[in-house]
Structure 1
Amino acid sequence: MSTLYPSVLLVALGSAEEQAQCRTLRVRDEQSDFIATNAESLEQAADSPWCEPLGVRAVHTGEMVGFLMHALDPDENSRWIYRLMIDHRYQGRGYGRAALRALLEHLQKMPGGPGVALGVAPENTGARRLYACEGFVETGELIDGELIMRRLLA
């Protein structure tokens, strides 16, 4: 039996209205130590030509349910997922998995090497489980206290 996940659309955050909408999204209180705020992430993206911030919209409602950001690491020619967050009101409904899958599909079309990496807080077991189920493998590396996970895009 296959599990159905909601359809999501990744959207560029080009307008001030979309960015303001993104800034209102929040994770649950107990998750706030695991990820930077969306406002901080948007500031980081504005300062880096390598970062692409994207909103995650539910296809059936058009409502913004999450935020993600990725970047090309020119030194290692691979993509990094810097942020993946789903607003607390939409967690547990499959939006995180759907957003991750949509992002991986998006990254396959972009220049850069065949790999993608991310960092995750060791105590964020839910995220680690999600990433592992989607083919990411813990490498044993630690960067700024985060476990590094990698997978091939193909």
Structure 2
Amino acid sequence: MNHNQVEIVEVHAGNWYECCQLEVDESQKGHIETNAVSIAQSKFEPTLKPFAILFDGKIVGFLMFNSALEELDGYWIYRIMVDKNNQNRGIGKRATQLMIQEMQKLPAANRIVVGYHPANKEAHQLYAGLGFIDRGDRFGKEMAVVLEF
């Protein structure tokens, strides 16, 4: 895969509905909110920044992060998903790298945090591969992993 084929663009009036049509694999549905819920959440929490993931110019995924510091003195990744028909191609990893680059532009950005259910092996593999460290932080049923830079 050519990494130049993956890009992220802000969700807007022209692409939000297409983002809502994307679905994760059946086995992943219990681990993440739908994109429609995430987009609605971003309208009521303006610090949340939703993005569409494009591969070869086509919307294939969705991600969202908070542009305000939160727990663990970090900026949190709220969502990252790739449509079930485009998984296992490196798209999610490349999109997450692009999201991290965006998040590093935020004021006093030196820590990114993401929480996920420990049973979500795909998330664990993705974040560990990008250098996130499990320091033992837990929030309810989720574990939080941290990337420092």
Q: Assess same fold via TM > 0.5.
A: yes
From 8, 11, 17, the counterpart of 2:9: 11
Question: 1:39-88: per-residue Cα shift (whole Å, max 9, x none)?
Answer: 11011111102100000011xx3100100000034355521000000000
Query: Could you say which residue in structure 2 is the equivalent of 1:84?
Result: 80
Query: Could you say which residue in structure 2 is the equivalent of 1:64?
Result: 59
Among the aligned pairs, what percent are the same residue?
31
1:1-154 to structure 2, matched below 5 A, reads 5=3, 7-15=5-13, 17-58=14-55, 61-75=56-70, 77-152=73-148, 154=149
CA contact (8 A) 1:122 1:147 kept: yes
* Greater share of helix: 2
What RMSD, in angstroms, separates the aligned Cα atoms of the two structures?
1.7
- Give the secondary-structure state (helix, strand or coil) at the position aligned to 1:33: helix
Note the C-alpha offset of 1:144: 2.9
Taking the aligned partners of 2:85 and 2:27, their CA distance within structure 1 comes to 14
- Where structure 2 has 5 or more consecutive residues not aligned to the other structure, the ranges are none
Taking the aligned partners of 1:54 and 1:130, their CA distance within structure 2 comes to 18
TM-score of the aligned structures, taking structure 1 as reference length: 0.89
CA contact (8 A) 1:70 1:80 kept: yes
CA contact (8 A) 1:5 1:97 kept: no
Note the C-alpha offset of 1:91: 0.1
- Give the secondary-structure state (helix, strand or coil) at the position aligned to 2:63: strand
**Matching residue's letter, 1:12:** E
CA contact (8 A) 1:72 1:78 kept: no
Taking the aligned partners of 1:75 and 1:89, their CA distance within structure 2 comes to 33
Q: Aligned residues, how many? A: 148
CA contact (8 A) 2:24 2:83 kept: yes
CA contact (8 A) 1:71 1:80 kept: yes
Taking the aligned partners of 1:6 and 1:121, their CA distance within structure 2 comes to 31
CA contact (8 A) 1:71 1:79 kept: yes
Distance 1:70 1:47, change over 3 A: same
